[in-house]
């Protein structure tokens, strides 16, 4: 049974890598438009957590939601992939896979998604890579950076293609927060009331 579990884990890792490479090629090529549809962000997050729980059954990710209804035009599979990549990085590299939070809330006309851990924190080089979408320099080593470059580059490409922004904060020994913003549809309530 352990052998089968190991093979399944390696297969999942390979699938993730292929998904990442396909996404990066498609998005960075810029010649294929996004297939946006109106989605509830919490449903996309729910799908992401199902994937995470299957891949990492011993981790614990808490979904925290505000009372805001976050309805926005996105390509759901790509936004799900960003969430999965960020949470997977926290599980694999933070040093604490049991205190991870996926938080959704509104900030003005933006839907904000945060992935927060209480792990060992990221180096300044990794923080810059998150925000600039660069792969990590080859001379960086250690558990806090290994294997994160492609995933971070994919996340940055996808969020930028949606017209959003991604930022990171990290304090050594206290954890890391990576958040991204996606614009919600503006609803003109005054105009709606006038029509009635």
Which residues face 117 on adjacent strands?
100, 176
Adjacent-strand bridge partners of 113: 104, 180
What number of CA atoms fall less than 13 Å from residue 112's CA on the CB side?
A: 15
The rounded percent of the chain whose pLDDT value lies above 70 is: 71
Q: Six-digit token pair at 137?
A: 């320099």
Per the document, the length of the chain is 196
Report which of residues 56 and 144 the model is more confident about. Answer: 56
Read off the pTM. Answer: 0.78
Banded pLDDT at 74 (limits 50, 70, 90): very high
CA distance 63 to 28: 30
> Token pair for residue 66?
């505000």
Residue 192 has pLDDT above 70, yes or no: no
**pLDDT digit string, tens, across residues 16-33:** 767 767 766 766 666 667
For 164, list phi and psi in degrees, rounded to 5: -105, -170
How does residue 143 score in pLDDT terms, banded at 50, 70 and 90? very low
The per-residue pLDDT for range 105-141, each reduced to its tens digit, is: 999 999 999 999 998 887 777 777 766 666 555 444 3
Average pLDDT over residues 6-12: 67
- Supply the pLDDT for residue 3: 55
Angle in degrees, CA 126, 130, 136, rounded to 5? 45
Q: Which two tokens stand for residue 10?
A: 């390696």
Burial of 165 (0-12, 13-18, 19+ CB in 10 A): middle
Q: Which residue has the higher pLDDT, 105 or 145?
A: 105
Assess whether pLDDT exceeds 50 at residue 191: no
Q: Is the pLDDT of residue 61 over 90?
A: yes
């Amino acid at each position: 049974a352990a052998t089968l579990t190991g093979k399944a884990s390696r297969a999942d890792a390979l699938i993730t890598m292929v998904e990442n490479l396909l996404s990066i090629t498609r998005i960075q090529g810029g010649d294929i438009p996004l297939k946006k549809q109106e989605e509830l962000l919490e449903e996309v997050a729910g799908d992401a957590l199902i994937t995470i729980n299957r891949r990492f059954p011993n981790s614990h990710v808490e979904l925290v939601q505000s009372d805001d209804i976050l309805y926005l035009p996105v390509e759901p599979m790509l936004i799900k992939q960003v969430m999965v990549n960020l949470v997977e990085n926290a599980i694999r590299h933070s040093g604490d896979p049991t205190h991870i939070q996926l938080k959704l809330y509104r900030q003005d006309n933006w839907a904000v998604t945060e992935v927060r851990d209480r792990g060992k924190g990221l180096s300044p080089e990794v923080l810059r890579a998150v925000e600039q979408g660069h792969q990590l320099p080859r001379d960086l080593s250690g558990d806090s950076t290994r294997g994160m470059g492609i995933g971070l580059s994919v996340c940055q490409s996808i969020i930028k293609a949606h017209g959003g922004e991604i930022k990171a904060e990290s304090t050594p020994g206290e954890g890391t927060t990576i958040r991204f913003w996606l614009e919600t549809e503006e609803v003109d309530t005054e105009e709606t009331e006038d029509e009635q």
